[in-house]
Amino acid sequence: MIPELARAIGSMSDEDSDYILDACLKTVQRQEAAGWQMIMTPNGQIFYPDIDLSAMVQIAAQVIQDNLGNFFRAPLQPQAPGAAAPL
């Protein structure tokens, strides 16, 4: 799912991709010695310098999978030419 999500985000406008990433990242917490901490501030700044764009996409993919995974059907297996797709 991550490569597909990365391609989809890469094909979006900057505003749209920022919206998706921000919406996902604002829901994520990270466990620290002081307890669970949000990884993003309410104004969209990442607290942790080790979270780069690759990590952001992986986190967003997990958030989407956790929240919308049951909404989407499982990916279809490759079909032989002329074979009917399952319903």
Across all residues in the chain, what is the average pLDDT? 81
| Residue 74 lies inside a defined structural domain of this protein | no
Domain count along the chain:
1
Task: Give the domain range for residue 12.
Answer: 2-68
In a domain, 11, yes or no: yes
Chain segment 12-48, per-residue pLDDT in tens: 999 998 898 999 999 999 999 989 999 998 888 999 9
In a domain, 16, yes or no: yes
Q: How far is 86 from 5, CA to CA, in rounded Å?
A: 24
Nearest to 52 by CA among 65, 64, 39, 41: 39
Residue 85 lies in a domain: no
Classify residue 41: in a domain, yes or no: yes
Residue, of 1 and 18, whose pLDDT is higher: 18
Tokens of 58: 């992986």
- Token pair, residue 79, equals 């079909």
How many distinct helices (H) and strands (E) make up the chain? 3, 2
pTM of the predicted protein model: 0.70
